[in-house]
């Protein structure tokens, strides 16, 4: 027999559960702290556009609250592939425009706050990313749950990731690098291409000859090819069983991407062209890619990445979880989103930084791939803690 009155409401239940207790004061943000860092690469990092770089410009944002709980998030001043950010510009945007709109507000109001930050300064996803993720970190710590529980719950304990092969060096050194990843359990390898098509072809041939079907091979031009050069090169690479060609054309050339996707048998992935959900919708409408990649910094953090994943999945696109070369902070953000996603995702490069690209991490408990998979952090919030010495160095 049901003893619950027909007019009983949730509010009644809440009132009865604690009839004499006043509602606790909501947690409030009291300070926004920017921590700019130059994080060195183990070896210089080279992509199709620009010179090799010795370090990645990292920005950690730490939000302080009136209850003593802090949250952290990460972004990068990438300065290429659609990012015009520098570390000083990121810090100034956050200090001058975002901090006044954050102090005094609850980190649980993440959607409303990010909406206000976008109104304060449009097209600032790189600066918004660490703010949103730091709020998720605080929410998880306050509730005592990992961030993936805030995003929909846990669907997996680990997620397979891909390793990135540098364009630097000889074909022989490339094979040695690939072998080291394979020995560590990585099955998915991403080869950077786009500078010399003859070298690109030789490298693909050598990798396939050495490893056969032991590896899944992807190529990434980082928006560095023209339509004609991409058509010639990718057509020549098709016999070598390439999983997908990542962002072969410039960011703005969606029509070219669509034409290329129709002209070759190899699947095409969009990355740099995917900044906002509006950009992704154009790619979907024009059938310019069969998969897309998100990155914490590029796409504004967890809040916006999850929205992109829902849009892309609804259109039948495969999801590739990515990152700029990042420390364990941004790596944890993507790992939690992967953990909460109920259907398969591609083996992404979101752990490129912690897989060996960066010389050192900045947390006390670094995320380390095991047999080519990243274990999902289980601690409250993002589940990683800044190393005080590392961020002072």
β-sheet with 53-65: strand ranges across: 29-45, 53-65, 70-76
Spell out the domain ranges in the chain. Answer: 29-144, 150-392
CA–CA dist 57, 51 (Å, integer): 15
Taking only the tens place, the pLDDT of each residue in 321-376 is 999 999 999 999 999 999 999 999 999 999 999 998 899 999 999 999 999 999 99
Q: Please state which of the four CATH numbers 1.10.10.10, 3.30.420.40, 3.50.50.60, 3.30.390.10 is assigned to the domain occupying 29-144.
A: 3.30.390.10
Q: Map residue 71 onto helix, strand or coil.
A: strand
CA–CA dist 341, 116 (Å, integer): 27
Closest CA to 159 of 363, 349, 385, 365: 349
Closest CA to 110 of 334, 308, 303: 303
Residues 6 or more apart whose Cβ sits within 8 Å of residue 230? 221, 245, 248, 249, 260
Taking residue 167's Cβ as centre, other Cβ atoms within 10 Å add up to: 22
Provide the pLDDT for residue 384: 98
- The residue ranges of the chain whose pLDDT is under 70 are 1-24, 48-50, 80-82, 393
Provide the pLDDT for residue 8: 33
In the beta sheet, which residues pair with residue 163?
Answer: 189
Closest CA to 279 of 242, 304, 260, 248: 304
Q: What is the DSSP letter of 27?
A: P
Taking residue 378's Cβ as centre, other Cβ atoms within 10 Å add up to: 12
Residues 6 or more apart whose Cβ sits within 8 Å of residue 278? none
Provide the pLDDT for residue 10: 36
Provide the pLDDT for residue 310: 99
SS3 assignment for 348-386: ECCCCHHHHHECCCCECCCCCCECCEEECCCCCECCCCE
CA–CA dist 72, 133 (Å, integer): 7
Architecture of domain 150-392: Alpha-Beta Barrel (3.20)
Provide the pLDDT for residue 23: 60
CA–CA dist 305, 262 (Å, integer): 27
Provide the pLDDT for residue 44: 80
CA–CA dist 274, 64 (Å, integer): 32
Torsion of the alpha carbons at 277, 273, 72 and 97, rounded to the nearest 10: -80
Taking residue 53's Cβ as centre, other Cβ atoms within 10 Å add up to: 17
* Token output for 309: 């994943």
């Amino acid at each position: 027999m049901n003893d619950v009155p027909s007019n009983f409401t949730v509010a009644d239940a809440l009132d009865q559960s604690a009839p004499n207790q006043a509602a606790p004061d909501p947690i409030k943000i009291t300070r926004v702290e920017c921590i700019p860092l130059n994080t060195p690469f183990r070896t210089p990092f080279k992509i199709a556009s620009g010179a090799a770089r010795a370090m990645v410009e990292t920005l950690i944002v730490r939000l302080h609250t009136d209850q003593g709980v802090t949250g952290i998030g990460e972004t990068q001043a990438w300065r290429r592939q659609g990012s015009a950010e520098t570390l000083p510009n990121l810090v100034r945007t956050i200090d001058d425009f975002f901090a006044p709109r954050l102090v005094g507000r609850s980190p649980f109001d993440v959607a409303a706050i990010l909406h206000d930050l976008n109104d304060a300064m449009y097209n600032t996803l790189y600066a918004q990313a660490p703010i949103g993720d730091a709020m998720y970190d605080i929410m998880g710590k306050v509730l005592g749950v990992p961030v993936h529980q805030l995003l929909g719950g846990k669907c997996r304990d680990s997620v397979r990731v891909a390793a990135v092969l540098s364009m630097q060096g000889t074909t022989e050194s490339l094979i040695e690098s690939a072998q080291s990843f394979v020995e560590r359990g990585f099955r998915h390898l991403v080869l950077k291409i786009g500078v010399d098509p003859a070298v690109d072809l030789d490298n693909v041939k050598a990798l396939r000859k050495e490893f056969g079907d032991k590896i899944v091979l992807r190529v990434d031009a980082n928006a560095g090819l023209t339509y004609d050069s991409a058509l010639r090169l990718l057509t020549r690479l098709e016999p070598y069983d390439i999983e997908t060609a990542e962002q072969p054309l410039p960011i703005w050339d969606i029509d070219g991407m669509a034409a290329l996707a129709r002209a070759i048998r190899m699947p095409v992935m969009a990355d740099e062209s995917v900044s906002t959900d509006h950009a992704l919708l154009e790619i979907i409408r024009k059938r310019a890619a069969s998969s897309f990649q998100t990155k914490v910094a590029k796409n504004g953090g967890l809040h916006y990445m999850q929205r992109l994943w829902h849009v892309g999945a609804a259109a039948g696109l495969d999801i590739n979880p990515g990152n700029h070369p990042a420390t364990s902070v941004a790596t944890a953000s993507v790992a939690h989103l992967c953990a909460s996603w109920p259907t398969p995702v591609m083996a992404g490069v979101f752990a490129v930084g912690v897989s060996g690209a960066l010389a050192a991490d900045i947390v006390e408990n670094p995320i380390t791939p095991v047999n080519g998979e990243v274990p999902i952090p289980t601690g409250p919030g993002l589940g990683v803690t800044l190393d005080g010495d590392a961020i002072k160095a």
